[in-house]
Amino acid sequence: ENKTLPFEAIGEGTLHRLVDAFYHRVGMHPDLAPIFPDDLSETARKQKQFLTQYLGGPPLYTNEHGHPMLRARHLPFDITPTRATAWLACMNEAMDEVGLEGPVREDFYARLYLTAQHMINTPDDDE
Ligand code: HEM
């Protein structure tokens, strides 16, 4: 087999630009900003580590922080369906901004969509 890892197809530079573009939007989003720290630099640093390994690259997140246990790490926050939609919208716009296109984008986004649904732990206020 000779399959290129998504991490290699996207490239570290583009991945890092994606994460920065993403948190720039998160920090301005009315549904998301209230649950995130004001300074998103450490959050972005961890997300670069996490997405590197999520895409098949080296296990940078686990090496520094242990098993991701992503759903458990999100339990302190109210992750509503509205916030999951907002998170994914910020990611979609960030993908546009960095010029990520084609099947590698579609596959990455599809995985993020499923992971985002898995993070939901709180209903919307009107439910
Ligand atoms: C951390 C929100 C989905 C990966 C966080 C934090 C918040 C948050 C508030 C804490 C930030 C901090 O204190 O630094 C959300 C919301 C989501 C969502 C509203 C909507 C569904 C996701 C998804 C992924 C992800 C889909 C992965 C694909 C992470 C990682 C961290 C994190 C790796 C850092 C964990 C750590 O502290 O070590 N998220 N998140 N999140 N999130 Fe999410």
Residue 1 lies in a domain: no
- Domain membership of residue 100 as a residue range: 11-119
> How does pLDDT run across 72-86, given as a tens digit for each residue?
999 999 999 999 999
CATH number of the domain where residue 30 is located: 1.10.490.10
Residue 109 lies in a domain: yes
Residue 3's pLDDT is 78
Mean pLDDT to the nearest integer, 30-42: 98
Q: How many domains does the chain have?
A: 1
Residue type at 112?
L
Buried b / exposed e along 93-109 (16+ C-beta atoms within 10 A) = ebbeebebeeebbeebe
Is the pLDDT confidence value at 127 over 70?
Answer: no
Is the pLDDT confidence value at 126 over 90?
Answer: no
Alpha carbon of 74 to ligand 1 centroid (Å)? 6
| pLDDT > 70 in the chain, percent | 98
Residue 126 lies in a domain: no
Pocket lining for ligand 1, CB < 6 angstroms: 32, 35-37, 42-43, 46-47, 50, 65, 70, 73-74, 77, 79, 83-84, 87, 112, 115-116, 119
Locate all alpha helices (DSSP H) within the chain, ordered by sequence: 6-10, 12-28, 41-54, 60-65, 70-74, 81-98, 102-119
Residue 4 lies in a domain: no
Give the pair of three-digit tokens for residue 44: 């972005």
Is the pLDDT confidence value at 43 over 70?
Answer: yes
Judged by phi (left if over 0) then psi (alpha if -120 to 50, else beta), residue 102 lies in left
